[in-house]
Amino acid sequence: MTAPGYAPSPSRPIGVAILAILVILVGALFLLGALGLLLLAGFAAIRGLPTFFGLTGAFLGLVLLIFALIFIGVGLGLWRLRSWAWWLAIIVLVLDIIGSLVDPVGLVIPLILLIYLVLVRQHFR
């Protein structure tokens, strides 16, 4: 029994939990890659390498950092069953499916994930 005024938290499907953890892990890997690129860019600047190397590394590191933060945020949103995270995951999967139309093998996993997320939609608030 729950206390008055508190709604019980919805149950998290195991597939959503696994997907959330995987998305967070990918975000963590992107974060490590971003930090590595930023360190290499700084090293290139210190060593006196051409500015192009430092700027390119810094730019790529910052882009990867942005993606890392997005992935971690979406993973946490999926874990907490937030509707915005569900929508963002659906949009990314649809874009992935459209991009995979040339390669039917790469189409299978995003299509399965899309179908699964549509089936568990009622768990997201």
- pLDDT tens digits for 78-112? 999 999 999 999 999 998 889 888 887 888 888 99
Average pLDDT (12-28) is: 94
pLDDT in tens, 75-84: 999 999 999 9
Please give the single-letter amino acid code of residue 32.
L
Burial of 49 (0-12, 13-18, 19+ CB in 10 A): middle
Distance CA 77, CA 91 (A): 15
The phi, psi pair for 17, rounded to 5°, reads -60, -45
Count of CA atoms in the C-beta half-sphere (13 A) of 60: 14
pTM of the model: 0.79
CB count within 10 Å of CB 4 equals 5
